[in-house]
Amino acid sequence: MNDMLKRILESRDTNLYKKLVAILGEYTTNIPCTGIDDLFDSAVKNGAKILPKDKRALDILDYILSCNSAARVIHKLLNLRFSDLPAELKPISKKGRKHQVVHWTRGANVSDRVKDLIDWEGSSAVGKWTNVDGEGVALIDIAKEEEK
């Protein structure tokens, strides 16, 4: 990967991280004692390395963090599943003639929740898109599939 592209991706990670910390901080200040303060502390302690490096995962987080209120962002972050995302953001793979929504796997944790895209512990374990059994899959671009 060339240096320019790498810097662009890193700056995007930093902007998303800043948004995430600001929203978690605002929510913790306005609505204390909900457990979100633990997520805020983890995010501050571990820095931008908590964000995934995958482009689709970053797009999903960007979509979630672009809501207009902290409460709405926190609700979506904690409760939204990949199958509930808009079609253009859904992580989908093709198996034979079937399409299926995939999961995010980091270590032994296989999940279909947006919250789990973020490595709250800062373990530096790289996440990847997998099927329900934890086997790696390739995502398809839904926009290209619609053109066919």
User: CA 121, CA 129: separation in Å to the nearest integer?
Assistant: 19
Give the pLDDT of residue 146.
53
Give the pLDDT of residue 5.
45
Give the pLDDT of residue 2.
55
Burial class (CB in 10 A: 0-12, 13-18, 19+), 64: buried
User: CA 21, CA 18: separation in Å to the nearest integer?
Assistant: 5
* CA dihedral sign, ordered 104, 106, 110, 115: negative
Give the pLDDT of residue 99.
87
Residues in CB range of 46: below 8 A, 6 or more apart: 119, 120, 121, 122
Percent of the chain past pLDDT 70, that is, above it, reads 86
Look up residue 107 and give its DSSP letter: T
pTM comes to: 0.84
Over 50: is that where the pLDDT of 4 sits? no
User: CA 65, CA 141: separation in Å to the nearest integer?
Assistant: 22
Over 50: is that where the pLDDT of 43 sits? yes
User: CA 146, CA 24: separation in Å to the nearest integer?
Assistant: 37
